[in-house]
């Protein structure tokens, strides 16, 4: 009986045109529109990134901290510029330093060391997109560009981050040096006052002795600071290795995650369709079913499973279309994607069943409520505005926990960014609980429905 009802209901849903339109065709069209809008950006972000050519000028031939930071982001171009003929030791050290901190995804910059005149000539010829000028340890570096664009924006952002993060450290070191110098000067002044006959020679000798005696303490403080920075760096690198995938999903895929969530919740159309033939107040087919000996809940369970299977198949086709036709990778194994989309489909089916038990055959409500709820949940999950879910997380995080579309997109995002882990399974469990509660509500409503006459 159950298998017969399942096969019958599945065939009936496949033949229902508007159900196939909303659960399969509309998501395919929307995915194509998304791809036409920003598919190239996602491809570029996921694919290889061409290093940005930039010239690096060190005033007075001295390389400060900023030069080391730039080189750590760079793949140095040794074919151009006058300062590329480095000594063997310095070249080995620089290469080792770059290899130690270079991201696994490849260099962001391609640096050409040059004099100021050579750098300006390269910029004018269009061989570099900007000029970084390093003025030494305690002087702020500068950036010179000849135009505006994405590359120039990236170069400016690198400089901005450096000025925000590293200027503080430079001020601390400068303050420590100034403090030591000040202490030496005070001690020399006291000695000069007590022995004025020694004059400037005594003051100079005392200052040198005081500076030399304070140097070990200063070096010790610097070593402690460097040790703390190394420890912080090692913790950050360890966290990066543990928490993030080597190839995290593109941020632009958030829209496709929300699209899958929307398609899953559109399975509520399947539920409102088959509930018409199960309830006497919905249609003549429901009236005939109520007069038949078939168990009501058995038929409802078979119909719900048919709707979930249809949604699983539709989600599978949409994922294949995005992955292999559009060429956009979710960076998630297919099985894990289908698991959460199927659970999202179960939430949609159970929601449609619950709504049908409350509308008493009102066609307008059966159409309007699933559409309104689905589109609202999809909007709040980031379908139209990518940052919407984060805005809600900051303002009212409980909405993201109750919104099935937000939960589904969160599961896919966490799996694509951090790998399948605790958060993914927590979100999957939340979807399963939502579906179970809605099915329980629909089952109770169906059991309690009685009619004065049929």
pLDDT in tens, the chain (454 residues): 788 888 988 998 999 898 999 899 999 999 999 999 877 777 666 544 567 888 888 887 667 677 777 777 775 443 344 443 333 333 333 333 333 333 334 567 888 888 888 888 888 888 888 898 888 766 788 888 877 676 777 788 778 777 776 655 555 555 555 554 455 455 444 544 444 444 445 444 554 455 445 445 544 554 555 455 455 445 444 444 444 455 667 778 889 999 999 999 999 988 888 888 777 667 667 667 766 666 777 888 888 999 999 999 999 999 999 999 998 888 889 999 999 999 999 999 999 999 988 887 788 888 899 899 999 999 999 898 878 888 898 888 899 999 999 999 999 988 888 888 899 999 999 999 999 999 999 888 887 666 555 4
Residue 66 confidence (pLDDT): 76
Residue 260 confidence (pLDDT): 95
- pTM metric for this prediction: 0.59
* Residue of 110, 49, 55 whose CA lies nearest to 81: 55
Every domain of the chain and the residues it spans: 2-45+250-448, 52-243
- Calculate ∠ Cα 426-355-303, nearest 5°: 75
* Residue of 275, 302, 280, 303 whose CA lies nearest to 291: 280
Dist. CA 336–CA 411, nearest whole Å: 9
Cβ count near 111 (within 10 Å): 26
């Amino acid at each position: 009986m159950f298998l017969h009802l399942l096969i019958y209901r599945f065939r009936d849903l496949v033949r229902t045109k508007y159900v196939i339109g909303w659960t399969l065709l509309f998501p395919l069209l929307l995915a194509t529109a998304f791809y036409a809008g920003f598919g190239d950006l996602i491809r570029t972000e996921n694919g290889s990134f061409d290093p940005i050519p930039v010239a690096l000028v060190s005033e007075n031939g001295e390389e400060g901290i900023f030069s080391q930071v730039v080189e750590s982001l760079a793949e140095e171009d040794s074919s151009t510029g006058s300062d590329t003929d480095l000594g063997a030791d310095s070249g080995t050290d620089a290469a080792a330093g770059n290899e130690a901190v270079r991201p696994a995804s490849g260099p962001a910059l391609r640096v050409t060391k040059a004099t100021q005149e050579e750098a300006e000539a390269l910029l004018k010829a269009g061989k570099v997109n900007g000029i970084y000028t390093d003025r030494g340890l305690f002087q702020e570096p500068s950036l010179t560009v000849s135009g505006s664009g994405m590359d120039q924006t990236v170069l400016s952002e690198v400089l901005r981050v450096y000025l925000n993060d590293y200027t503080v450290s430079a001020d601390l070191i400068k303050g420590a040096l100034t403090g030591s110098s000040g202490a030496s000067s005070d001690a020399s002044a006291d000695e000069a006052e007590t022995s004025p006959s020694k004059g400037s020679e005594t003051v100079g000798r005392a200052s040198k002795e005081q500076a030399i005696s304070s140097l070990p303490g200063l070096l010790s403080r610097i070593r402690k600071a460097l040790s703390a920075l190394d420890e912080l760096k090692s913790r950050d690198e360890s966290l990066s290795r543990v928490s993030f995938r080597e190839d995290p999903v593109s941020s632009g895929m958030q829209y496709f995650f929300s699209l899958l969530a929307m398609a899953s919740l559109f399975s509520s159309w399947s539920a409102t369709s088959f509930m018409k033939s199960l309830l006497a107040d919905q249609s003549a087919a429901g009236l005939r079913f109520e007069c038949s000996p078939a168990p009501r809940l058995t038929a409802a369970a078979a119909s719900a499973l048919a709707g979930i299977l249809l949604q699983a198949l539709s989600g599978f086709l949409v994922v294949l279309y995005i992955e292999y036709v559009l060429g956009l990778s979710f960076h998630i194994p297919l099985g894990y994607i289908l698991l959460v989309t199927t659970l999202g489909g179960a939430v949609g089916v159970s929601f449609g069943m619950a709504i049908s038990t409350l509308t008493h055959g009102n066609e307008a409500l059966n159409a309007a409520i699933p559409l309104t709820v689905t589109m609202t949940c999809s909007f709040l999950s980031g379908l139209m505005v990518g940052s919407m879910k984060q805005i809600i997380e900051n303002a009212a995080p409980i909405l993201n926990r109750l919104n099935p579309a937000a939960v589904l997109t969160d599961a896919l995002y966490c799996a694509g960014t951090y790998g399948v882990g605790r958060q993914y399974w927590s979100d999957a469990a939340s979807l399963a609980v939502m579906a179970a509660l809605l099915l329980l509500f629909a089952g109770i409503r169906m059991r309690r429905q009685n009619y004065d006459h049929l």
